[in-house]
Amino acid sequence: MNLRVLIFGDVMGGIGRKAIAKILPKLKKELKPDLIIANAENIAHGKGITQKTLEELKKAGVDFFTSGDHVFDKKEIIPVLEDKNSPLIRPANYPPLASGFGYKIVEIGIRKILMINLIGRVFMKGDYDCPFRKFDQILEETKNEKLNAVIVDFHTEATSEIRAFSFYADGRASIVFGTHTHVPTSDNQILAEGTGYVSDVGMAGAKDSVLGVDKENIIKNFLTQMPFEHQIPETGKAIINAIFLEINPKNKKAEKIKRVDKEVEI
| Active-site amino acid positions | 70
- Residue 98 CB-density burial (10 A; 0-12 exposed, 13-18 middle, 19+ buried): middle
Q: 259 with 17: CB under 8 angstroms? A: no
| SS3 label, residue 54 | helix
- Give bridge partners of residue 107 from the DSSP assignment: 112
Three-state secondary-structure class, residue 157: coil
Identify which of 207, 108, 143, 139 has the alpha carbon closest to the alpha carbon of residue 152: 139
% helix, strand, coil for the chain, step of 5: 25, 30, 45
